[in-house]
A = this chain, B = another copy of it.
Amino acid sequence: MFTLGIDYGTNSVRALVVRCADGLELGSAVAGYPSGREGVLLDVRDHHLARQHPGDYLSCLEQCVTGALAKAAATKGFRADKIIAIGVDTTGSSPIPVDASNRALGMLPKWRKNLHAQCWLWKDHTSWREAARITEMAARHRPQYIAKCGNTYSSEWFWSKIWHCLKTAPDVFAAAHSWVELCDWMPSVLAGVTDPLRVRRGICAAGHKALYCDEWKGLPDKKFLAMLDPKLAALRDRLYVKAHDATASAGGLCAEWAQKLGLKPGIPVAIGEMDVHYGAIGSGIAEGTLVKVIGTSTCDCAVVPATKKVADIPGICGIVKGAILPGFYGIEAGQSAVGDIFKWWIETVCEGDGALYGKLEKQIASQVPGQSGLLALDWNNGNRTILVDPMLSGLLLGATLHTTRAEIYRALVEATAFGACAIIERIEEYGVPVRRIVCAGGIAEKSPMLMQIYADVTGRTMQVAGSSQACALGGAISAAVLAGAHRNFPAAQKAMTSVRPIQYKPDPARRRAYRKLHALYLSLHDAFGGVNRSADLSRVMKDLLIIKQSASQ
């Protein structure tokens, strides 16, 4: 028995065929979205804008599923009709305006060219004013709404975007019968759902991003929404009442799509989740296991059994029951930029190409902690966790006249390691145990230097997820559970996920050295992050120079 995992990323979609018995990956294929720039529709007049053409999701799906099936066919015993279920993950929050038949407006001739009628991609920040206003109004009238997302509502999320559409493109807002998150819409298309009210919505995107919670009976109440705009209150009736965790099905594969994809009609389609959440499942998330998906930014996921009580954790952007694993609170934190900071340094500032990463790593391979005398803050894109403050920026301290670009690169890696530490320490402080860390994503696989620094800085062993396609694998696992190939998620994860043989263990000497640097990092973190408003920073540069001198000897 096999399942199919579909992973909608920012620039492309990937299909992965997986054997339910042991997680063997039989074949995968990727299709890049044809529209816009690497699949993203941009507006030269506003760099905040990022949209996507919904038609790309459909045309690329055929392409990558066909490709993955063709590759899987090489494995003896595989046939497409042995695929028993499908699981889909996508980016998010990426809401799509749809008509009364659940058709994406952006695919209808009338709206085809209208940017506001397309999918509002997760990284669209046009609605930053609306986000600030929602934060302000919630703080005043419904503090509980944002208590679970670090007390700050984001411009990347559902309500900010829809409200911004209402303000700037009222014609699109009026034409939209409803709005559906991409991770809910794709499964609904596969299941042939033609009424937005009948689209099965996942708790994962609904959770803090749409401010959905069982505590207050679903979405934000109409009175609150009317304070933003009466039309948002009216929209509430055309959205959904109940959101579901991954035990629910989004429906059965409809005949039309079964034929397009060459699969059996009627096989169950799992509820959609956001990419990192299925990625966490595909990386073996469990109570006590933190999964770090390290990419342009990071997403750090943990789970706590729903039978336990979880406090609101200051600065943690999402604590949602059922968001990742059914029966668990999903806890989501993250760093606003990790790979993006390295890319900025290597490609924008140093004007290097992909080869420069490895070249610089080599140049500093023999350096010991503190030898460069540098210390950095990883806030070039603000700080998502634990300060929840987009109005922060990067800092580099300790440069002399001899500091090299390689040393600065390493200091930036170390800065992200200190940032990772802050997340681990914060969630542990609030009772979420972290006994094991599994990292997934391209950087975790490609940069042993980074992984070793993370181990040395955090004092914890870093493991690497077995699959390079952890998100698609998570979708395939969800599909396998739904179709009954495994009795529940833990059983499916045990059978279908793995970690790589290589483990990065902290080195005691380097760990000691990093402790000193970490204390200095914290003094900068607290001073510039507003935690300490009477900071004594007079020793920071001197201490770094002293550490540097002794490290160089």
Instruction: Please list the residues of chain A having a beta carbon within 8 angstroms of any beta carbon in chain B.
Output: 337, 340-341, 343-344, 348-351, 373, 379-381, 391-405, 408, 527-530, 533-538, 540-542, 544-545
Are the C-beta atoms of B544 and A393 separated by less than 8 Å? Answer: yes
Contacts of A402 in B (CB 8 A): 344, 348
Are the C-beta atoms of A533 and B536 separated by less than 8 Å? Answer: yes
Given contacts A392-B541, A396-B397, A533-B538, could you give 7 more A-B pairs where the C-beta distance is less than 8 Å?
Answer: A348-B403, A351-B405, A380-B400, A381-B400, A381-B401, A393-B398, A534-B536
Supply 17 A–B pairs (Cβ within 8 Å), ascending by A. A340-B401, A344-B399, A344-B401, A348-B401, A348-B405, A349-B350, A350-B351, A351-B405, A379-B541, A392-B541, A393-B397, A396-B399, A527-B527, A528-B537, A533-B536, A534-B535, A535-B537
Contacts of A538 in B (CB 8 A): 527-530, 533
Q: Known contacts A381-B401, A393-B400, A404-B349; is A528 also within 8 Å of B540 by CB?
A: yes
- Tell me the nearest residue of chain B to A341, going by C-beta: B401
The distance in angstroms between the C-alpha atoms of A172 and B140, with both chains bound, is 79
Q: How far is the CB of A380 from chain B (nearest CB, A)?
A: 5
Contact of A396 among B341, B350, B396 (CB under 8 A): B396
Contacts of A399 in B (CB 8 A): 344, 380, 393-396
Q: How far is the CB of A131 from chain B (nearest CB, A)?
A: 16
The distance in angstroms between the C-alpha atoms of A360 and B17, with both chains bound, is 50
Are the C-beta atoms of B398 and A394 separated by less than 8 Å? Answer: yes
The distance in angstroms between the C-alpha atoms of A413 and B535, with both chains bound, is 27
The distance in angstroms between the C-alpha atoms of A380 and B341, with both chains bound, is 23
Are the C-beta atoms of A534 and B537 separated by less than 8 Å? Answer: no
Are the C-beta atoms of B344 and A403 separated by less than 8 Å? Answer: yes
Contacts of A396 in B (CB 8 A): 394-397, 399
Q: How far is the CB of A46 from chain B (nearest CB, A)?
A: 12
Contact of A541 among B391, B398, B534 (CB under 8 A): B391
Contacts of A337 in B (CB 8 A): 401
Contacts of A351 in B (CB 8 A): 350, 405
Are the C-beta atoms of B537 and A527 separated by less than 8 Å? Answer: yes
Sorted nearest first, the 8 A-B pairs with minimum C-beta distance are: A530-B538, A394-B399, A534-B534, A533-B536, A391-B542, A527-B537, A393-B398, A396-B396
The distance in angstroms between the C-alpha atoms of A529 and B397, with both chains bound, is 13
- The listed residue with most B CB atoms (<10 A of its CB), out of A534, A535, A545, is A535
